């Protein structure tokens, strides 16, 4: 009996090594919302009622894979819309996805599956998926994502305290976990697609999001 237990323990100890190293999925990320993530109490209270129903998220994947599909070079922009403030937990939302760099239908399906399985509460219901050229440009203190004629977000590193309203405090964490994160001063934020039946744009700078690196093990 003791010999049997010892053998079983030895097998369990070897299994992780046989399984091989976990797949690491990494890349760059940018998000912008229609509400501030760092602001003063008055603006925070007002936005709870009137703003925050829209958001734009963008991913640029490094060399990694998911469900057998390569993700290297794939870029995704997710446009979110809901009836209430998306920064609050449990809020319903719909998403329109734009994907660039996925050369086949199966690869696009894997990308959509990755987003839905990894960030179900963030993505919500996927209303439409489009293949479109996406530019994702990352500089040391500035990041931008663009779907030509449809979606654009440009942000720089927020400079505190000069960029913040007097008496500001952190209101919301990033939508997704980030290995490192930078508070973003959004300079341009717009969606001109037709899937939601509504469009929005904002040119007034504000601390409305984050950018940084995402890192996941599979």
145: in domain:
yes
For residue 63, the model assigns a pLDDT of: 78
For residue 44, the model assigns a pLDDT of: 75
49: in domain:
yes
Q: Which whole-number Å values give the CA distances from 212 to 36, 104, 127, 179, 183, in the listed order?
A: 18, 28, 26, 7, 9
202: in domain:
yes
| Structural domain span for residue 113 | 28-217
2: in domain:
no
12: in domain:
no
16: in domain:
no
- The tally of domains found in the chain comes to 1
For residue 21, the model assigns a pLDDT of: 53
pLDDT tens per residue, the chain (218 residues)? 444 444 343 434 444 444 445 668 999 999 999 999 988 777 777 777 789 999 999 999 997 889 888 899 999 999 999 999 999 999 999 999 999 998 888 899 999 999 999 999 999 999 999 999 999 999 999 999 999 999 999 999 999 999 988 888 888 999 999 988 999 999 999 999 999 999 999 889 999 999 999 998 76
Helix (H, G, I), strand (E, B) or coil at 94: strand
116 CB burial (10 A radius; 0-12, 13-18, 19+): middle
Q: What is the distance between the alpha carbons of residues 40 and 38, in angstroms, rounded to a whole number?
A: 7
Q: What is the pTM of this model?
A: 0.88
149: in domain:
yes
For residue 189, the model assigns a pLDDT of: 95
15: in domain:
no
Helix (H, G, I), strand (E, B) or coil at 176: coil
Contact 97/77 with Cβ under 8 angstroms? yes
Please report which helix (H) or strand (E) contains residue 10, including its range. helix 2-19
Q: Which whole-number Å values give the CA distances from 22 to 77, 161, 185, in the listed order?
A: 26, 41, 35
């Amino acid at each position: 009996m003791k010999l049997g237990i010892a053998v079983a323990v030895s097998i369990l100890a070897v299994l992780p090594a046989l399984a091989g190293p976990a797949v690491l999925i990494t890349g760059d990320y940018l998000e912008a919302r229609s509400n501030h993530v760092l602001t003063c109490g008055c603006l925070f209270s007002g936005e709870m009622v009137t703003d925050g129903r829209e958001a734009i998220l963008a991913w640029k994947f490094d060399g990694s894979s998911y469900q057998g599909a390569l993700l290297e070079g794939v870029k995704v922009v997710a446009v979110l819309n809901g009836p209430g403030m998306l920064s609050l937990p449990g809020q319903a939302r719909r998403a329109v996805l734009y994907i660039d760099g996925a050369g086949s239908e199966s690869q696009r399906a894997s990308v959509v599956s990755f987003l839905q399985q990894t960030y179900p509460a963030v993505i919500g219901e996927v209303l439409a998926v489009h293949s479109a050229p996406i530019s994702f440009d990352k500089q040391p203190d500035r990041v931008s994502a663009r779907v030509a004629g449809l979606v654009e977000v440009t942000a720089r590193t927020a400079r505190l305290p000069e960029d913040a309203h007097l008496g500001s405090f952190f209101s919301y964490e990033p939508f997704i976990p980030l290995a490192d994160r930078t508070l973003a001063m959004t300079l341009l934020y717009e969606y001109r697609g037709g899937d939601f039946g509504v469009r929005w744009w904002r040119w007034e700078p504000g601390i409305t999001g984050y950018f940084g690196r995402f890192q996941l093990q599979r």
